[in-house]
Amino acid sequence: MKDGLKICTIGGGSSYTPELMNGFIKRYDRLPVKEIWLVDVERGREKLETVGALAQRMWDASGHDVKVHLTLDRREALKDADFVTTQFRVGLLEARIKDERIPFSYGMLGQETNGAGGMFKALRTIPVILDIVEEMKELCPNAFLVSFTNPSGMVTESVIRYGGWNRCIGLCNVPIGAMLREPELIGKTLDDLVYRFAGIDHFHWHRVFDGATGEEVTMQIIDKMLDPNEDAGIPANIHDIPFYREQLEHLKMIPCGYHRYYYLQTDMLEDGIKDFNGKGCRAEQVKEVEDQLFELYRDPNLAEMPELLSKRGGAHYSDVACESIAAIYNNSNTHIVCSTLNNGAIPDLPADAVVQVSSYVGGDGAKPVAFGPMEPSARGYLQLMWNMQRLVEEAAVTGSYGALLEAVALNPQTPSGSVAKRVVDELLIAHEPYLPQFANKIAELKTAGVTIKDDVARKLCEQGL
C-alpha cells in the first residue's frame, strides 16, 4: 500500500472523534496517516468545527505531520480515501431521544439499538449508508469501509446485501470491553486466553479457553461475573441487573450485556421506565454528558482526549476501529470480533448472513472463525432476531410498511398489537424528514390524525429537530 494514508470519517463532528484520533496516534508506527477528513452535515457544523480543532491540536501535540480537514462535502472527503469510517447518527441525538421516549411513553422499551428505537435507527441509517457506498464505488473504489454506525449488524448486512460492497466490516465496542475486563477476573491476561464470539451485533455470546492448556474457562469467568463484589465491566448504557446463575450454567456461554433486555426483559423495562419518569431516558442523559464534553473540547489548551468521554458510552471505540484498520493495512490477520459474512461460522444461520464473530482481519478483510452450532435456546433466539433484522432491512430499502409490521411482530421488545402499531406510527411521523421511503404512509397517518403522545418528542418535532 501507499505511504501517507487518507482517512475519511463520516460523522466527524461526533463526540467520539477524539478517541478515534487517539487510536490513530497510538498506532502511527503501524498506520502512517497523512490526512484525515472529517465530514458532517450542516446541522453538525458547529460540533464539527469544535471537535475538528481539538483533533488537529491532538495531532500537533503528537509530533506527527498529519492534517485534519473539515468539510460538509462528503464527496470531497471520500475522493481517493484509503479507509472510510462511519460514526454518524441520522437526526443527531434528538432523533435518539424520540426513539427512546415514544416507546417508553407506551410502557415499551425505548433503547438505541433494541426494540422499536433500534428498528427506526436502522430505517433512517440504511438508506444513507447505501448512498455512501454508491459514492465510494465512484470516488474510492479500493477503500475499506469500517463502520461503527449503529445498529452495526443491520448496517453492515445492508451494505453487503443491498449495496454489493464486500470491502466492509462492522464494529462494536462490546466484545473488546469484555476481553479487556474478563481476564483479570480469573487472574489472567488477554494474551493467556483464546476468545470465541458468535451471534449478531448486540446479540452475541462467547466462550473462553486457556491458551496454554486448551481448558475452557468460561464457567470460571461466569462465577466471577456473578460475584456481587466483582466489577463485571457492564457497558455504561446498560443497567447492571445480574443474570440467573442456573441459566448461564446451562447455556455454558457468556451472553453480551444487551442480552439483559431479553433474558431479564421485565426487570430491564421496569428500570428503564423508572429512569424515563425520573432523570430521563438514556439519550437525554447522554446529551447532558455530550454538552459537557463539547464545553471541554472548546478549550484551546486541550490537546488530549478528556476522561469524561468514558461516560459517554462506546468506550474502547478506537481500540477496535483503529486496530481493524491497522490489521487491514498491514495484513496482520489480527483476531478482531466484527460483523462480516457468516460463510458457515455459525451453521444455524445462512452462509450469506452477516454475523458478529471472532475473525482474523487482514488485507482482504475478515475471515470468520468457525464457532459451531448453538444449543436450542440460543439457536432459537438467534434465528428469530436475525430474521427480524432482515425484515427491518427490507423495510428500510423498500419502504414496505408491511415488512415493518412483520418485524414488529417478531421483535420480543415490541409486543405485537394495536399499541405496538401506534408506537410505529408515531415514530414514522416523528422521523418524517429522514424517512422519505415511507412518505406515502406518513401522509396517510397524518391525514388520519395520528399525533405524538410524548410531550418532549412532540416539541422536538415542532422545533424541526
Q: How many CA atoms lie within 13 A of 412 on its CB side?
A: 17
In angstroms, the CA 25 to CA 58 distance is 8
What residue has cell string 428503564? 272
Query: Shortest CA distance to 303 belongs to which of 4, 86, 68, 89?
Result: 68
Any alpha helices (H) in 363-417, and if so which ranges? 376-398, 401-410
Question: Could you tell me the sign of the dihedral formed by the alpha carbons of 456, 459, 461, 464, in that order?
Answer: negative
User: Which residues, including other chains, have CB under 8 Å from residue 391's CB and lie 6 or more apart?
Assistant: 403, 404, 406, 407, 410
Question: Is 106 in the active site?
Answer: no
The string of DSSP codes covering 242-258 is: PPPHHHHHHH-SEEPGG
Measure the N-to-C terminal CA separation of the chain; round to a whole number of Å.
43
- Amino acid at the residue 155: V
C-alpha cell at position 93: 441525538
Catalytic residue among 258, 317, 329, 381: 258
Determine if the peptide bond prior to 350 is cis (ω within 30°): no
Q: Using only C-alpha atoms, what is the Rg of the chain?
A: 21
Report the interhelical angle of 401-410 vs 418-430 (nearest 10°).
Answer: 130
d(CA 296, CA 53): 12
CA–CA dist 258, 86 (Å, integer): 22
Q: Is 95 helix (H, G, I), strand (E, B) or coil?
A: helix
Residue 16 DSSP SS3 = coil
CA distance 397 to 232: 39
Burial 35-62 (b: 16+ CB within 10 A, else e): bbbbbbbeebeebbebbbbbbbbbbeeb
- Whole-number Å distance between alpha carbons of 361 and 324: 7
Residue listed under C-alpha cell 421506565: 273
In sign, the C-alpha dihedral spanning 343, 346, 352, 358 is negative
**Could you give the residue numbers annotated as active site?**
258
